[in-house]
Structure 1
Amino acid sequence: MGHNFVRLEDRMLAETVCAAVAAAGLGIAAVTAYRRRFLAATRIAAYALIPVGLVMTGVVDWLAGLAFNPTVWLGFGVLGLSWLLFMTTRVVERRSGGTRKERKAAGAAQREAVQPAASTPSLGAGRTQPTSTSRPAAPAEDFSDIEAILKKHGI
Structure 2
Amino acid sequence: MNRSDRAPDGVFDQGELVDSLVQAAFVTMAVLTEVAGDNEVSLTQLRVFGILRDRRVGVTALANYLGLEKSTMTGLVGRAEKRGLLQRAPNPADGRAVDVFLTAAGAELVERVHGHIARTLAPMTDALGPAEQRRLDTLLRRVLDSGPS
Question: Normalised by the shorter chain, which TM-score bucket?
Answer: under 0.3
What TM-score, normalized by structure 2, do the two folds share? 0.24
What TM-score, normalized by structure 1, do the two folds share? 0.23
- Greater share of strand residues, 1 or 2? 2
Larger Rg: 1
